[in-house]
């Protein structure tokens, strides 16, 4: 997402071209504003947020996170079980550095948010990808996942709602993930950053509600639901059976100490965001019929589906579409090269599917954050370009 495709886009911009960017889930550039109480909380905190904080995060933020998950029904969570980070991305890196030793394996979905695979690899481990079935709404098969477990497997990653597919997993499926992790003594890592970005009748089930006999790590933050990606305010919560993971949790604390602390001003936004008085309805309104996120998803999905040879599963959550182009009609072998050529020809930037650790070069990821006229223009240009590479 931030490699050769972005570099080519920057080159074109420097040459004076305007790029329609449908590649990164960053709400602010598309006119999404944070709830005002969050901005005000950060503004008021600036005079007292000039120094380092506790490496785990300021106590009010950790208290707010612990209270939030307790109110959701997660058992035995206190501020000492919460670590605040510079967004979920930093916390993924810290957790996997603490968890993974050379030769260890971690089960990761395919397609996935690519930082998971990258950080497992950088930590000396091997990401073992479990497939999600596009013909079944991008749902994973628990029986197939269980066949991938070996003595080297240390953990399993659950991204729900999923990035890049937008799939929202049922309560039954989430319970199945928790049960699988418990049977094999795996750390369950639940990436739930999109937990309130839901469409139609989709509901989100928290993995931590079902993992009691093994360690569950829940990752979330303010970047997406509260639309403040730049504040870099995220958290990870350790729940379930923490007694079996004492060494790991000590290692995680040591790594947190080494990086001093997360961005302190951004931490003061967390209590305001998770307060009972916060405007949680704001994100719900954006996702309801007539809401901006819902309308943009629907329009983009409809336009992509009208392109001959293109299909797209309608996502139940998040802010992405992951369309497939028929490989018989569009014989694309190198999808990164294709996306760069598409960018040069149309000035539209999307991301190639193999960038999300998909095995085949026949998908693209679209961000649905731009307003409807921008999405319509971008997809129109892409449709016209596809005609130039179509094989009838």
Four-way CATH pick for 4-33+284-389: 3.40.309.10, 3.40.367.20, 3.30.70.1290, 3.90.1150.10: 3.90.1150.10
Beta pairing class for 351-352 and 20-21: unpaired
Q: In this prediction, what percent of the chain has a pLDDT beyond 90? A: 85
Q: For 41-90, how does the pLDDT look when each residue is reduced to its tens digit (9 = 90+)?
A: 999 999 998 999 989 999 999 999 999 999 999 999 999 999 999 999 99
Tell me, what's the pLDDT at 133?
A: 95
Tell me, what's the pLDDT at 206?
Answer: 97
Give the per-residue pLDDT at 279.
66
Q: Is the pLDDT of residue 3 over 90?
A: no
Tell me, letter by letter, the H, E, C secondary structure of the chain: CCCHHHHHHHHHHHCCCCCEECCCCCCHHHCCCCCHHHHHHHHHHHHHCCCCCCCCCCHHHHHHHHHHHHHHCCCCCCHHHEEEEEHHHHHHHHHHHHHCCCCCEEEEEECCCHHHHHHHHHCCCEEEEEEEEHHHCCEECHHHHHCCCCCCEEEEEEECCCCCCCCCCCHHHHHHHHHHHHHHCCEEEEECCCCCCECCCCCCCCHHHCCCCCEEEEEEECCCCCCCHHHCEEEEEEEECHHHHHHHHHHHHHHHHHCCCCCHHHHCHHHHHHCCCCCCHHHHHHHCCCCHHHHHHHHHHHHHHCCCCEECCCCCECCEECCEECCCCCCCCCHHHHHHHHHHHHCEECEEHHHHCCCCCCEEEEECCCCHHHHHHHHHHHHHHHHHHCCC
Q: 35 pLDDT exceeds 90?
A: no
Q: Would you tell me how many other CB atoms lie within 10 Å of the CB of residue 185?
A: 15
The half-sphere exposure of 94 on its side-chain side, counting CA atoms within 13 A, is 30
pLDDT exceeds 80 at position 392: no
Q: Which has more confidence, 340 or 1?
A: 340
pLDDT band with cut points at 50, 70 and 90 for residue 1: low
Buried b / exposed e across 267-300, counting CB within 10 Å, b at 16+? Answer: bbbbbbbbbeebbeebbeebbbeebbbbbbbebb
Domains 4-33+284-389 and 37-274 fall in the same CATH topology: no
Instruction: Please compute the mean of the pLDDT values over residues 10-30 and round it to a whole number.
Output: 90
**Tell me: the pLDDT tens digits for 134-193?**
999 999 999 999 999 999 999 999 999 999 999 999 999 999 999 999 999 999 999 999
- In the prediction, which pLDDT does 240 show? 95
Confidence of residue 25 (pLDDT cuts 50, 70, 90): confident
Q: What percent of the chain has pLDDT over 70?
A: 99
Which CATH number applies to 37-274: 3.40.640.10, 3.40.50.150, 3.90.25.10, 3.30.413.10?
Answer: 3.40.640.10
Q: What are the tens digits of pLDDT across the range 277-328?
A: 776 668 999 999 999 999 999 999 999 999 999 999 999 999 999 999 999 9
Report the predicted TM-score, pTM, of the whole model to 2 decimal places. 0.93
For 313-322, what is each residue's pLDDT tens digit? Answer: 999 999 999 9
Q: Give domain limits for the chain.
A: 4-33+284-389, 37-274
């Amino acid at each position: 997402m931030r490699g050769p495709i972005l570099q080519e886009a920057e080159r074109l911009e420097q040459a004076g071209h305007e790029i329609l960017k449908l590649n990164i889930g960053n709400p602010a550039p598309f006119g999404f504003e944070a709830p005002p109480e969050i901005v005000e909380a950060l503004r008021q905190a600036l005079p007292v947020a000039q120094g380092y904080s506790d490496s785990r995060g300021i106590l009010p933020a950790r208290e707010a996170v612990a209270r939030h998950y307790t109110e959701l029904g997660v058992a035995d969570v206190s501020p000492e079980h919460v670590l605040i980070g510079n967004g979920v991305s930093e916390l993924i890196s810290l957790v996997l550095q603490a968890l993974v030793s050379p030769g260890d394996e971690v089960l990761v979905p395919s397609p996935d948010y690519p930082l998971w695979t990258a950080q497992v690899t950088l930590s000396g481990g091997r990401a073992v990808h479990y497939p999600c079935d596009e013909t079944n709404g991008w749902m994973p098969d628990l029986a197939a996942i269980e066949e991938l477990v070996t003595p080297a497997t240390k953990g399993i990653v659950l991204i729900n709602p999923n990035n890049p597919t937008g799939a929202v997993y049922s309560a039954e499926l989430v319970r199945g993930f928790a049960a699988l992790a418990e049977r094999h003594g795996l750390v369950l890592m639940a990436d739930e950053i999109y937990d309130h970005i839901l469409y139609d009748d989709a509901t989100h089930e928290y993995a931590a509600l079902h993992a009691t006999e093994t360690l569950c790590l829940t990752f979330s933050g303010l970047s997406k639901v509260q639309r403040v990606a730049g504040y870099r305010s995220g958290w990870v919560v350790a729940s379930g059976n923490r007694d079996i993971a004492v060494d790991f949790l000590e290692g995680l604390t040591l790594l947190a100490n080494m990086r001093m602390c997360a961005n302190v001003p951004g931490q003061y936004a967390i209590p305001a965001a998770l307060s009972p008085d916060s405007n949680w309805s704001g994100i719900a309104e954006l996702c309801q019929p007539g809401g901006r996120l819902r309308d943009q998803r629907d329009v983009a999905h409809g336009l992509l589906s009208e392109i001959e040879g293109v299909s797209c599963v309608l996502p139940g959550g998040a802010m992405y579409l992951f369309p497939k182009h028929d490989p018989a009609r569009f014989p694309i072998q190198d999808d990164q090269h294709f996306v760069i050529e598409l960018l040069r020809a149309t000035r539209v930037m999307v991301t190639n599917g193999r960038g999300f650790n998909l095995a085949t070069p026949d998908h693209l990821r679209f961000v649905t954050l731009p307003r409807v006229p921008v999405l319509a223009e971008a997809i129109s240009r892409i449709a016209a370009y596809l005609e130039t590479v179509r094989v009838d």
